[in-house]
Amino acid sequence: MVFRQLRSPADFVRARSLIGTEVSGDEILSGLWDLAAADSDVLVAIVATRRVSPSVVEVKAMRGYAGQARLLREVADDCRAQGVERLVAAGCVDADVLRRAGFVPDPGTGRLVLQL
């Protein structure tokens, strides 16, 4: 499996087919590809994030066939390297997947967060 941000028009077409219309266009789309698949370029999970502030990134939407928790951990590592301190999940993201990736409820807001 390989993690990377989506940049090409073909990547965005594939991403939209997975994630649907839950994103507005100002998000950063990142994906997880299964290079061992017969096609060797299968996008298995996609996440849309949006920078809320210099230290906070919101996970807006996520879909996939496999590897969603791993994808969130990869996004967390990437965000940490950019100085982000916290990931905050939107209500539409699967709470079980978020918990497997290390997100916990914020006592103040009730939203699931991951301190980086």
CATH of the domain at 43: 3.40.630.30
**What's the predicted TM-score (pTM) here?**
0.84
Chain segment 25-80, per-residue pLDDT in tens:
677 888 888 877 776 567 788 888 989 999 999 998 888 877 888 889 999 999 99
Q: Which domain holds residue 47?
A: 2-115
**Closest to 60 (Cα-Cα) out of 74, 70, 46:** 46
> How much is the pLDDT for 21?
57
What is the number of structural domains in the chain?
1
Token representation of residue 44:
């298995």
Q: Is the pLDDT of residue 16 over 80?
A: no
